[in-house]
């Protein structure tokens, strides 16, 4: 095993534990994956807790997505493979959580499925772009992957209704930061819902899109 893979295994477990310890996902919920140097994947095993991932037991895939080592992977591999296939070099890691505020927002009426988060903060726009709300699928249903493929790589973040958010990033750290931004923005949205908050204007949003190269189409 290369030193870079050893480091990546440790980073996956460290970030996962940080998310777990702060209550962003509970029990054995959520999953995480990252690209290895040789084009393969390291993935959290099925039924595992983010609070107790073992670097040596992470599921290992080769560059053809054949499972070649470690424990049995999460049943939600279709989510991961769909993002990697459609986002290309823009997807170096994926984080999927069952975070409370994102799920709560996903089941409320009058949420725009093409852009479910209002522009409350600049960083919500910068780190996430538009966040798509996808319909409910039974956990592990391959159709989840089909729904993500239907976005044709145009979204780095989605929320599965009644389930939770999925975020892809160029690096594991970037994916985790974006995921935290999504959950915080969902929390702010719920806190201000019905209060007619002052949101960023369309001109301000477009200024962020131009300045920081945000995917917004």
The interaxial angle of helices 172-192 and 3-21, nearest 10 deg, is 20
Q: What is the pTM of this model?
A: 0.95
User: Count of alpha carbons within 13 Å of 69, Cβ hemisphere only?
Assistant: 11
Dihedral sign of CA atoms 174, 176, 179, 180 in order: negative
Counting other chains too, the contacts that 198-207 makes at CB distance below 8 Å and 24 or more residues apart are: 199/118, 199/119, 199/120, 200/119, 200/120, 200/121, 200/122, 200/125, 204/119, 204/122, 205/119, 205/125
Show the low-confidence residues of the chain (pLDDT under 50). Answer: none
Rounded CA separation 210/191 (Å): 29
Percent of the chain with pLDDT over 70: 100
Rounded CA separation 66/63 (Å): 7
The pLDDT score that the predictor gives to residue 64 is 92
Return the structure tokens found at 84.
Answer: 């990697």
The pLDDT score that the predictor gives to residue 140 is 84
- Residue whose C-alpha is closest to residue 78's, from 155, 2, 180, 148: 148
What are the φ and ψ backbone dihedral angles of 29, each rounded to 5 degrees? -90, 160
Beta bridge partners of 168: 94
> Which residue reads 């994926």 in tokens?
94
The pLDDT score that the predictor gives to residue 174 is 97
Let me know: does 35 contact 12? Beta carbons within 8 Å: no
What's the CATH superfamily of 3-212?
A: Class II aldolase/adducin N-terminal domain (3.40.225.10)
Annotated catalytic, 123?
yes
Domain ranges of the chain: 3-212
């Amino acid at each position: 095993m290369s030193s870079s893979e050893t480091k990546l295994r440790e980073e996956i477990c460290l970030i996962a534990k940080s998310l777990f310890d702060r209550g962003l996902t509970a029990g054995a919920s959520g999953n995480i994956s990252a690209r290895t140097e040789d084009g393969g994947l390291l993935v959290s095993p099925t039924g595992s807790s983010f609070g107790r991932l073992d670097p040596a037991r992470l599921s290992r895939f080769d560059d053809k997505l054949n499972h070649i080592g470690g424990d049995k992977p999460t049943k939600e591999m279709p989510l991961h493979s769909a993002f990697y296939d459609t986002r290309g070099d823009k997807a170096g890691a994926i984080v999927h959580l069952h975070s409370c505020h994102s799920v709560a927002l996903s089941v409320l009426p009058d949420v725009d499925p093409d852009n479910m988060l209002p522009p409350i903060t600049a960083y919500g726009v910068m780190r996430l772009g538009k966040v798509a709300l996808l319909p409910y699928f039974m956990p592990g249903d391959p159709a989840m992957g089909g729904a993500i493929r239907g976005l044709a790589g145009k979204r780095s973040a989605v929320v599965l209704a009644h389930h939770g958010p999925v975020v892809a990033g160029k690096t594991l750290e970037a994916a985790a930061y974006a995921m935290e931004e999504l959950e915080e923005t969902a929390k702010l949205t719920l806190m201000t819902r019905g209060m007619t908050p002052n949101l960023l204007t369309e001109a301000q949003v477009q200024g962020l899109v131009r300045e920081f190269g945000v995917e917004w189409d």
